[in-house]
Structures are given as structure tokens and as C-alpha cells.
């Protein structure tokens, strides 16, 4: 090797400018035995950023349950989680954030978030079968918030639709805390044969290293470190840190990668995501306990004059790194060339464990690969915690000025947090691929496993108000609600991925909330007996206005063995009995009712009981397997009144629901009395409907599952929502429900 080349002598000030600390700069010099070069400093900056290294979260993440008999890929070791679903198949899934880029450039920020999570799935050899998203924005009455929301939704729709991957579900919540820090969490689910699952590793001295996909430009440079700091006016102006996507190029890359995955011509493959080529090369090397020598003069570029620093840190989209087998070079290049993509050997695998970078006959970097990566030499911190003062206050609600129930009901249906998502859903293709069983609009979506009767139920969920008021119980609530969302379709919850969106971890109060949320997630997953298969941490969602509401988004996956037994979320037939299942204990603490009419987030959240949640889930699954449920709907935001309304109104969002002839209901007089019972929110409950002929079987199933159940009314076709305490015309309710987001997207 020639002498290392650096454009300048690196100082502590340079390291700090790259987001590194003095302690980290000293550690880098210890690993290298010298000061880093310019290129090396950039690589360490990207790989040691919070976005790549999880340095402020990994010690707590390791406390989450990760074991399962279904586990097909060890948590954190591959691009996504993978669970065995039988018949030699695995479901591969992951959720990730693209928050800071979306806040700066919403269309490309959201679009490339979708593209990145898709690559994490098909990089493992899995074909994506559906996608979801979880969105948080400031109140849509604000002009900038409307702009961010509508452009982000368009970016998600345009990219996903072009790829031909249907959307199966998602969620949106609006709150003032997201006005400066919107959240875009994207999730993708795929299917792969277990014996064809691709690993993100390198091995074999002399094996060729291929760059495949789109050309490299200057977009996205320092995207990883950009996503690891608070948003400010200065950072919001850094549009160069936001990637630019090309979904049609990604479609070609997906098909070529999946074709390659069926061959025996390569060792491993990894997406060039955060920190680009630096991340892919170092992580694959470290995992295989090998090194790589890369010649950057061979990297396909779309811009002139790019140097080694820029090439290594570019986050240009639609690119992969493939470690091939010696002698199989033509097989690899032929596949990608057939799809019109670049496929260039840019290096080889070495045995010295170093990442060696050459550019213009200069030796720009020589770094021990393990020193760069999570689980290796990347720093790990456990930050100071301090319980926020507001959590010490006993949060009793006694001064609520209640609205008339009929007025409150229609107003809640119009609320952006409750109303129809049709203006959003209609921008997403839910039909492409013909795999949709239940699409967006209910609690959980269901996608058919190709060539099988199996179905995968999916949900994203988090009530950020609950996690603000009680971080531990609120996060447990989010896990259980996600489990209910797939269980109401008839699916067994089998695992979660998470996207943990929080403020600055160096603020002790923020880190206390984060640590409590992790504990709550662990509690709930252990109770359910399911693993956390991976995910994403997004810190620094904070501006001069303060942090966002803590948002540990849960991506839940469930398995149903026979999609013919999937249960819809909509009432089906007039005359069917309506029943309330579960331990009904509604409260106004943290509710939409309280925020809408009192303008505050306060009070005690619904009490979470793991045993009650498990009993409800078992009941829903057994009743679905027996074929005795006509519909099932989880109780969530807006309480039982809004759940009943959605059991009628949401039928128009799904072809299966359009078969319904139900357009109303009549509740037993006195079953729900007062606004707390009607609009308060509760844990562990669902609304189900059943034909009279199946009623006794359903009651017996509930008894066997030891879950409370009561008859509360009858499905009707008279166009009236009769709550006993008040009545509303179905047409009036539908108008309120449908118009909530229409003007925002018009």
C-alpha cells in the first residue's frame, strides 16, 4: 500500500464539525494509531452517527425480548427481521424513519424513505407483498403543515405505486409537537423461501465486490449525520442531505436482485443506505470478519469532480453492494445488465480486516472494519435520566365542560385524528399484485402469501398521547393495540418491528422517557410471547419549540393460516347481533375527546392488563378459526361511539365491505350512558358482530377464553345510528366522517 493521502491535517475542530466528540476523536486515533485522513473522518462520522451506530440506544435495545421459535434471522444481524411461517417460507419485515429529510424536503424525503425500506426487504431475497406507513404532522389547519403532509403523502404514493407494492394499512396522528418535526415511518413486508434468504456478509479472500444499480451523485451526503441532530433553521436548509429517488430504477433493481437471489453466484448483498458505500462495505466486512479493498475510480458516477469523501458518503438511492464468488463474475453482471443497470467490480475481499480505499492512485483510507460498526468499535452510551416534573403530578380530570353527546359525536367524526383516511388512501395503490385480502381503512390489513392460503396481517400503531402521559404503560398499550389490530382480522400476532421517535437523548428527561418506553415494550412483548425482530431509532426530533410527543411506533405482523377465514372490520348483515368483548373501562385521560374539547393532553390513561389483552386476542383468533364472526373492530381513538360508527362507515373503503347491506345499528337502551362511556378510550376491548345462528357458539367461545362479553345491540339497515341516549342519521355521520381531510388534499 502507498502512503495514506489526506487533503489536510485533521484537527479536533474538524471532528466536532462532523458531529463527533473529543472522546470519540481520541478513540478513532487509538483504532488507527494516527490521525484520520479526510476520507476516514467522513466515514467515522457517518458510521458513528446515531442513525447508524445507535450509540445512545443500543444498550437499552438489548433489553428487549428477541427470542422466538420462529426466528429465522437474529435480531440486528440482517437488513430486516425474519420469522418462519411454515411450509419453508419466511416473512421479512422492518420499519424505518425518514423524519428529518421529510421535514426539509417532504416529497423526496418521504419517497426515499419508502425506497430505502423496500431495499432492506428485497436485499434479503424477499419479494415485498405490502407496505404501511405511520405519519405524524402538526395540525393541518396550518399552511406549512398542510404542505408537508400533502407532499409527503404524494411522495409515498408515487414511489410505492411505481414499484407495484400495495399499501395495506397505516395511521396518521396530528399534534402541535410535530409542526417542526414531522414523522414519516415506512414499513415493508416481504416473503422469501427460507433456503433462499440472502445474508448481508462478505467472505472469501479474492472474491469480487460489485457495485450494482444506479449511479452515484452528491445527493444525501451526510444524510446519516444530518438525521442525528436537532432540527434548526440552519439544518432545515441542508437540502443536499436529502436523497433523490427514482422508483422506476428501484423497480429494475428489485427484479434484478431477486433474480440474483435465486442463483448460487454470490456470498452476500447489502443496500447502500445511510452512509452509503461506507456503511455497506464496513458492515459486510465486519460481519464476515474480513476486509475489502475498493477502487473508487471504478464507481459509476453521474456527477463530475467527485472525490473519495463524497463517493464513500453519498446516499444516492437505488444502489447495492454484492460480494460475488470468484469465477461467477459474468453471471452477476449479466443479470444486472439485462435489467439495464450498472454492475461493476470495484474491489475484492481481503483477509486483513481493513477497509482500504483507493482513489486516483491515492490510498485515502485504511480502517479496521470492526471499529466502525454497531456491535464492534462504535461507541455505546447510556445517558443520564431524570423523571420529568410533569410525570410527578397526579393527573385527575375534574373540570371538563362536557358537550351534548349528539354534537360531540359528529364533531369527533370530523376530527383529523378520527375521520376517514380516504383522501390519503386513494393516493396509494392497494390493489396492485392481486394480493390484497383486507386493505387500508380497517384496523389491520391482510395480504395473501403468494402461492399459498396463508395471509400476513399487518398494523402500525402508537398513541403518542398515552406515551407522553405514561411512557411505560403507554408503550405497552401500543404493543397490545397493534396485536389487537391483527387479531381482529383472525391472525395470530407473531412479532414486531419498531420505529422509536424521540427528542434529544442527551437531555435527561428525554432519555428517561425513552428508557421507560423500552421497558413498556419489553413487558408487553414478553406477555404476548413475541420477539422484537429489529427496527430503527430516530432521536433528535426536537427543535427550538421542544421535543415531539414520544412516539415508539409499533409495526406488528400476524399470521393467518387460511385467508378465507379473515374477518372484516365492517358490519355485514342487518339483524346481526352486536357485542362488546373485553374489560370495558373507558377514561378521558389522553383521549381525543379531551384534546378536542378541552384543548389539553392530561389525565390518567387506560389501565393496561396483560392477562385481559391475551384473553381477548385468544378469543378473537378462536372465533375467526371457527368461522362464527361476521365482523370485528378494535376500540381505540374516539371510544366506543366512533368504533361503532366506523363499523358502518368504513365499509366503503374496501371491496369486501361493499358487500355489506348494513347502514345503521340500534343499541340496547342504557348500555352506554354519558360521554365518558361513549367517547372515553379503553384498553383490551373490541366490537364484534355475529349472526343470530352463531350467537351461542360465540358466547361459549368467550366463556372458554375467559373474556367478558355482553350483547349491546343489533345491526340495522334503516340509516340510523341509535345509541339509545341519542340518535344520528347515518348520512349525516357519513358526511362528517368523510369531509375531515378532504379540504386539506383538495
Q: Which residue has the cell 396550518?
A: 142
Q: Please, what's the b/e burial string for 5-42 (b: 16 or more CB within 10 A of its CB; e: otherwise)?
A: bbeeebeeebbeebbbeeebbebbeebbeebbbbbbbb
Cβ-contact 227, 538 below 8 angstroms: yes
Q: Which residue has the cell 360521554?
A: 675
Query: What residues does 547 pair with on adjacent strands?
Result: 542
Residue 26, phi then psi, degrees to nearest 5:
-65, -40
- Cα–Cα distance, 521 to 461 (Å, whole number): 13
Residues 6+ apart with CB under 8 A from 141: none
Q: Which of 98, 100, 222, 363 is catalytic?
A: 98
**What is the strand order of the sheet 183-193 is part of?**
81-86, 89-97, 183-193, 127-137, 167-174
Residue 361, number of CB atoms within 10 A of its CB: 9
Cβ-contact 450, 190 below 8 angstroms: no
Q: Measure the CA dihedral 260/264/268/273, to 10°.
A: 0
- Cα–Cα distance, 616 to 353 (Å, whole number): 52
DSSP state of 88: T
- Cα–Cα distance, 624 to 581 (Å, whole number): 14
Cβ-contact 99, 184 below 8 angstroms: yes
C-alpha distance from residue 407 to each of 411, 600, 739 (Å): 6, 19, 16
Cβ-contact 523, 448 below 8 angstroms: no
- Please give the radius of gyration of the chain, using alpha carbons only, rounded to the nearest integer: 26
Query: What residues does 634 pair with on adjacent strands?
Result: 686
**Closest CA relative to residue 665, chosen from 631, 710, 716, 725:** 716
- Cα–Cα distance, 435 to 721 (Å, whole number): 34
Residues 6+ apart with CB under 8 A from 26: none
- Cα–Cα distance, 131 to 149 (Å, whole number): 18
Q: Which residue has the cell 384543548?
A: 599
Handedness of CA 422, 425, 431, 436 (dihedral sign): negative
Cβ-contact 730, 672 below 8 angstroms: no
Q: Which residue has the cell 467515522?
A: 44
Residue 669, number of CB atoms within 10 A of its CB: 12
Residue 570, number of CB atoms within 10 A of its CB: 26
- Cα–Cα distance, 431 to 168 (Å, whole number): 9
Residue 51 annotated as catalytic: yes
Grid coordinates belonging to 87: 411450509
Cβ-contact 183, 133 below 8 angstroms: no
Query: What residues does 151 pair with on adjacent strands?
Result: none
Q: Which residue has the cell 390489513?
A: 445
CA–CA–CA angle 302, 304, 305 (5° rounding):
135
Residue 100 annotated as catalytic: no
- Cα–Cα distance, 309 to 12 (Å, whole number): 18
Instruction: Indicate the length of the chain as a whole number.
Output: 746
Task: State the angle between helix axes of 143-163 and 106-122 in degrees (0 to 180), rounded to the nearest 10.
Answer: 30
Q: Which residue numbers are catalytic?
A: 51, 98
Amino acid at each position: 500500500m502507498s502512503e495514506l493521502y489526506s487533503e489536510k491535517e485533521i484537527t479536533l475542530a474538524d471532528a466536532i464539525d462532523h458531529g463527533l466528540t473529543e472522546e470519540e476523536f481520541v478513540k478513532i486515533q487509538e483504532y488507527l494509531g494516527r490521525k484520520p485522513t479526510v476520507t476516514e473522518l467522513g466515514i467515522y462520522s457517518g458510521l458513528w452517527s446515531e442513525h447508524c451506530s445507535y450509540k445512545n440506544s443500543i444498550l437499552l435495545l438489548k433489553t428487549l425480548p428477541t427470542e422466538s421459535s420462529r426466528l429465522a434471522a437474529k435480531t440486528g444481524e440482517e437488513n430486516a427481521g425474519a420469522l418462519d411461517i411454515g411450509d419453508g417460507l419466511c416473512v421479512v419485515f422492518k420499519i424505518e424513519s425518514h423524519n428529518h429529510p421529510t421535514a426539509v424536503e417532504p416529497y423526496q424525503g418521504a419517497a426515499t424513505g419508502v425506497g430505502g425500506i423496500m431495499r432492506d426487504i428485497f436485499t434479503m431475497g424477499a419479494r415485498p407483498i405490502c407496505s404501511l406507513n405511520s405519519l405524524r404532522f402538526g395540525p393541518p389547519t396550518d399552511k406549512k403543515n398542510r404542505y408537508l403532509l400533502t407532499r409527503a403523502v404524494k411522495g409515498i404514493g408515487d414511489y410505492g405505486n411505481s414499484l407495484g407494492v400495495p399499501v395495506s394499512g397505516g395511521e396518521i396522528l396530528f399534534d402541535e409537537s410535530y409542526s417542526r418535526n414531522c414523522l414519516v415511518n415506512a414499513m415493508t413486508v416481504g416473503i422469501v423461501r427460507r433456503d433462499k434468504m440472502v445474508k448481508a456478509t462478505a467472505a472469501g479472500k479474492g472474491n469480487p465486490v460489485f457495485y450494482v444499480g444506479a449511479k452515484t451523485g452528491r445527493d444525501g451526503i451526510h444524510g446519516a449525520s444530518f438525521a442525528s441532530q436537532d432540527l434548526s433553521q440552519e439544518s432545515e436548509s441542508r437540502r443536499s442531505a436529502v436523497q433523490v429517488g427514482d422508483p422506476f430504477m428501484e423497480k429494475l433493481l428489485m427484479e434484478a436482485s431477486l433474480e440474483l437471489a435465486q442463483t448460487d453466484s454470490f456470498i452476500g448483498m447489502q443496500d447502500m443506505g445511510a452512509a452509503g458505500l461506507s456503511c455497506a462495505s464496513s458492515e459486510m466486512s465486519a460481519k464476515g470478519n474480513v476486509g475489502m479493498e475498493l477502487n473508487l475510480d471504478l464507481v459509476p458516477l453521474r456527477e463530475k469532480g467527485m472525490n473519495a469523501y463524497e463517493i464513500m458518503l453519498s446516499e444516492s438511492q437505488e444502489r447495492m453492494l454484492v460480494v460475488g464468488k470468484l469465477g461467477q463474475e459474468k453471471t452477476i453482471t449479466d443479470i444486472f445488465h439485462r435489467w439495464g443497470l450498472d454492475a461493476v467490480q470495484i474491489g475484492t475481499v481481503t483477509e486483513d480486516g481493513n477497509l482500504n480505499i483507493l482513489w486516483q492512485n491515492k490510498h485515502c483510507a485504511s480502517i479496521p472494519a470492526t471499529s466502525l460498526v454497531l456491535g464492534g468499535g462504535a461507541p455505546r452510551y447510556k445517558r443520564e435520566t431524570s423523571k420529568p416534573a410533569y410525570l410527578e403530578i397526579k393527573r385527575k380530570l375534574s373540570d371538563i365542560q362536557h358537550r351534548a353527546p349528539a354534537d360531540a359525536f359528529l364533531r369527533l367524526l370530523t376530527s383529523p385524528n378520527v375521520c376517514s383516511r380516504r383522501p390519503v388512501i386513494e393516493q396509494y395503490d392497494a390493489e396492485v399484485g392481486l394480493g390484497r385480502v383486507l386493505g387500508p381503512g380497517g384496523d389491520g390489513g391482510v395480504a395473501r402469501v403468494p402461492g399459498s392460503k396463508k395471509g400476513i396481517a399487518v398494523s402500525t400503531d402508537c398513541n403518542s398521547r398515552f406515551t407522553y402521559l405514561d411512557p411505560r404503560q403507554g408503550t405497552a398499550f401500543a404493543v397490545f393495540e397493534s396485536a389487537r389490530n391483527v387479531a381482529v382480522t383472525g391472525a395470530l400476532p407473531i412479532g414486531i418491528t419498531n420505529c422509536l421517535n424521540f427528542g434529544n437523548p442527551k437531555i435527561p428527561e428525554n432519555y428517561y422517557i425513552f428508557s421507560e418506553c423500552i421497558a413498556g415494550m419489553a413487558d408487553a412483548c414478553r406477555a404476548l410471547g413475541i420477539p422484537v425482530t429489529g427496527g430503527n431509532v430516530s432521536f433528535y426530533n426536537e427543535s427550538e419549540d421542544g421535543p415531539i410527543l414520544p412516539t415508539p411506533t409499533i409495526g406488528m405482523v400476524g399470521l393467518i393460516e387460511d385467508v378465507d377465514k379473515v374477518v372484516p372490520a365492517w358490519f355485514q348483515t342487518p339483524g346481526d347481533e352486536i357485542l362488546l368483548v373485553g374489560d370495558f373501562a373507558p377514561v378521558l385521560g389522553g383521549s381525543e375527546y379531551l384534546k378536542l374539547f378541552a384543548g389539553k393532553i392530561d389525565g390518567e390513561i387506560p389501565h393496561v392488563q396483560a392477562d385481559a389483552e391475551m384473553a381477548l386476542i385468544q378469543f378473537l383468533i378462536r372465533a375467526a378459526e371457527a368461522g362464527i364472526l361476521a365482523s370485528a373492530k378494535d376500540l381505540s381513538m374516539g371510544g366506543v361511539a366512533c368504533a361503532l360508527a366506523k363499523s358502518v362507515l368504513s365499509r366503503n373503503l374496501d371491496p369486501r365491505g361493499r358487500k355489506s347491506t348494513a347502514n345503521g345499528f340500534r343499541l340496547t337502551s342504557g348500555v352506554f350512558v354519558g360521554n365518558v362511556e361513549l367517547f372515553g378510550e379503553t384498553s383490551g376491548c373490541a366490537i364484534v358482530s355475529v349472526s343470530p345462528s352463531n350467537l351461542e357458539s360465540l358466547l361459549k367461545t368467550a366463556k372458554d377464553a375467559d373474556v367478558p362479553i355482553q350483547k349491546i345491540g343489533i345491526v340495522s339497515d334503516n340509516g340510523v345510528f341509535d345509541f339509545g341516549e341519542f340518535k344520528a342519521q347515518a348520512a349525516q355521520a357519513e358526511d362528517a366522517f368523510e369531509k375531515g381531510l378532504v379540504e386539506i388534499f383538495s
